[in-house]
Amino acid sequence: MMKILLIGASSDIARNLVDNSNPQFEFIELTSTPTLTNQHQIDVQNEESYPHIEGEVNGIVYFPGSINLRPFSSLKLSDFQKDYEINVLGLIKTLKHYHKQLSTDSSVVLISSVAASLGMPYHASISMCKAAIEGLCRSLAAEWSPKVRVNCIAPSVVQTKLSSRLFRTDAQVQQMNARHPLQKVGQPKNISDAISFLLSDKSSWITGQTLHVDGGLSSLKK
């Protein structure tokens, strides 16, 4: 049995991972809004809130993020700071707190975005944060190898509660679908399946990589 820490376990992708994943995974769920008896409360920006986890862990997945799509001119410095604190500093604090518990042959999975590599308007804050995560991924993969694998997943837009304002009308859904070469947006299972793969032994020769799960958006023009 592999013990996996899920940070931000209330997200739609995390829930899909828990509900549909490999039975060899034992998930320890940490979230800011626990609704289940087996979930632990955490505020990723407050290290004093981090629960004690007994023994070694075989993996960590960090889900907390933000979608702040606005013109650069309307973004305040505080907007950049807030996004950075959630996406990057919260991740760093989490890894600083728990990384010494990672076992040999363990796996860390981080969540980036297609916006880290593909220039898109109104993504200044999120692209900055996710590019920082990809850089951290590569650095930690080099530093922690061969004991720990560290990889990123870079999705395009996924239909979740966090992105619900992008899918309010049928016209918005059709527009989002049409942007992708595969003519559809992502679903939580698309991302959770990729996470499950990177946590498992099937990815034992992969580290320091960013896996684009984006319907072809980052590399294809159609």
DSSP secondary structure letter of residue 77? H
Cα 109–160–178 angle (5° rounding)?
A: 100
119 closest CA partner among 130, 109, 108: 130
Say how far apart CA 137 and CA 87 lie, in whole Å: 13
184-204: average pLDDT: 97
For 111-157, give the secondary structure using H, E and C: ECCHHHCCCCCCCHHHHHHHHHHHHHHHHHHHHHCCCEEEEEEEECC
Here the tokens at position 54 are: 């007994």
Question: In this predicted model, what pLDDT tens digit does every residue of 137-178 receive, in sequence order?
Answer: 999 999 999 999 999 999 999 998 888 888 889 899 899 899
Q: What is the pTM of this model?
A: 0.95
CATH topology of domain 2-156+186-213: Rossmann fold (3.40.50)
Angstrom distance (rounded) from CA 13 to CA 114:
16
**Residue 132: pLDDT above 90?**
yes
Domain extents in the chain: 2-156+186-213
